[in-house]
């Protein structure tokens, strides 16, 4: 069973930075890895994704220019560097792995096969 383990969440002030990490427990064939976030009582929303082969990246408009997704395939790890954090970035952040997603579905949680347990990010004003 593939496991994804996130780390790096925490409590920061507006304008600060955080770096989330997600380690995949084993080497699996997966085309994309992504980050989603979830507000209380809301559906998970897409944040960013990376093509594990090419390194091409994709972002939600709300985080473009502030967040950077990257991957280290040698360590089965994906990162989310979050800069200029805002209170509205407060959420539980999840990493996810998509084995056969296509570009047009990257923003959909249903495109991803495996999920981490989530890590809380809280940004105070």
Cα distances (angstroms) measured from residue 100 to each of 77, 109, 117: 18, 13, 21
N- to C-terminal Cα distance for the chain?
A: 40
What would the two tokens of residue 56 be? 């091409």
**What are the pLDDT tens digits along the chain (125 aa)?**
889 999 999 999 999 999 999 999 887 788 899 999 999 999 999 999 999 999 999 999 999 999 999 999 999 999 999 999 999 999 999 999 998 888 899 999 999 999 999 999 999 99
Alpha-helical segments (H) within the chain: none
């Amino acid at each position: 069973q593939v496991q994804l383990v996130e780390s790096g969440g925490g409590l920061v002030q507006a304008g600060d930075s955080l770096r989330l990490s997600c380690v995949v427990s084993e080497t699996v064939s997966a085309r994309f890895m992504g980050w989603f976030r979830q507000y209380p009582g809301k559906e998970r929303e897409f944040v960013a994704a990376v093509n594990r082969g090419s390194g091409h990246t994709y972002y939600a408009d709300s985080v473009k220019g502030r967040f950077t997704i990257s991957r280290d395939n040698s360590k089965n790890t994906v990162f989310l560097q979050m800069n200029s954090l805002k209170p509205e970035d407060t959420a539980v952040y999840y990493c996810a792995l998509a084995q056969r997603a296509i570009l047009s579905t990257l923003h959909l949680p249903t495109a991803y096969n495996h999920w981490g347990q989530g890590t809380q990010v809280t940004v105070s004003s």
